Structures are given as structure tokens and as C-alpha cells.
Amino acid sequence: MVSSKILIGDAEIQLMHEPCVDPDSYRHKNIFIESSSAENNTLSTIIFNDYLTIYVFWEHCSSGVSQEILYVPETGVLFIGCGSISARVSTREQKLIDVNSVALFWSFDRHENYVLETGEIECFLYSLSGNKIAKAVVDPPYETYFTEKGIRFESDFYGSTWLYYSDENM
């Protein structure tokens, strides 16, 4: 088992990863997230401030697949991404907001009043409260540009695609 601890403001997030082929004993837990991959082989346990436990069953492989967590203290939302899934969890309400099946998760980045999720073929824009605002298709390699009206991606295959900011979050 691999274990680590992250401190963000007043939040303590403990991460544990272990090999797993059968997560049935975890499926009945409050928050259980499962990738749609047929090759799932890792169970990650995320403990938030000793009161909320999240289980994530996903496919970990050694090439280009990572797990990332981004926490937004103002809203209490935990963004979780790994392999072929990304999810948002409300730590205050102790519930899953939503899950996306993605081709390959890359990263989360906070940009002003938004969270940007980048991936292999799709990128998403979320409010700080975890609501999905926009989705854009991309094709690597792509460049990312931040503008006043949104985030623009440039790639050879798709050209320009956008994630536009919503009026309610500006």
C-alpha cells in the first residue's frame, strides 16, 4: 500500500493506493467511484479530515496515467481525477456531485473563479462549487490560452475550441 498526506488550509487529505481486483466490499460505502475501464486494478482510499472516506476503483498503469486531487476550501469541493475518470465531491454535504468518464485524465488547474480539467481528448470547465460549465474537444498536442471570455485550445486536428466562462461566475 502506498500512502501520503496532503494539507491544504485546514483540510487534511490522506491518500492510500493498493492493488485491487475485486472491490465488492467497498461498493456499499457512501462514496464509491468506479472507472468504466475493464482493466481496473487499483483501489484508492481518500480520507478527508477524518470524517469523509471516498473509494475510487480505477486503472493505474505506468505510462502517462496519474491521479490528482484539487481542493477548493471556499466551497468544500474536492476534485478527483485519475485514469479514465474525474469526479467532484462535496465534502460539506458528504456526497458525490458528478463523475465523468474521460479518455485520459491529465490535470486540474484553478484559474480565478474556475477549475480547468485537461485531458487527452476533452477538457472541462467547472465552477468552484463543482458544476460543469463547459466542455471542449481537443487533440494533442494542443496549446492553451487564457482570455477574458474563456479558455481557448489550439490543435492541428480540431483548430480552435473554447471553454467559455459563464456570466454567473464572472
Cell 460505502 maps to which residue?
A: 29
> Does the pLDDT of residue 170 top 50, yes or no?
no
pLDDT above 70 covers what percent of the chain? 95
What is the rounded distance in angstroms from the CA atom of residue 107 to the CA atom of residue 120? 10
> Does the pLDDT of residue 134 top 70, yes or no?
yes
What is the rounded distance in angstroms from the CA atom of residue 79 to the CA atom of residue 118? 12
Across-strand partners of 63? none
First to last CA, the chain: 43
Confidence of residue 2 (pLDDT cuts 50, 70, 90): confident
Query: Which pLDDT does position 103 carry in this prediction?
Result: 85
Give the CATH number of the domain where residue 81 resides: 2.40.10.480
Q: Would the pTM of this model clear 0.85, i.e. be above it?
A: yes
CA angle 108, 164, 79 (to 5 degrees): 20
How many domains does the structure of the chain reveal? 1
Which of 97-111, 114-128, 155-169 shows the lowest per-residue confidence on average (mean pLDDT)? 155-169
Q: What are phi and psi of 119, to 5 degrees?
A: -150, 180
- For residue range 47-91, list pLDDT tens digits in order: 999 999 999 999 987 665 678 999 999 999 999 999 899 999 999
Query: Which pLDDT does position 30 carry in this prediction?
Result: 87
| Mean pLDDT along residues 82-111 | 94
Query: Which pLDDT does position 65 carry in this prediction?
Result: 60
Structural domain of residue 121, as residue ranges?
A: 2-169
Across-strand partners of 139? none
Contacts of 25 (CB under 8 A, 6+ apart): none
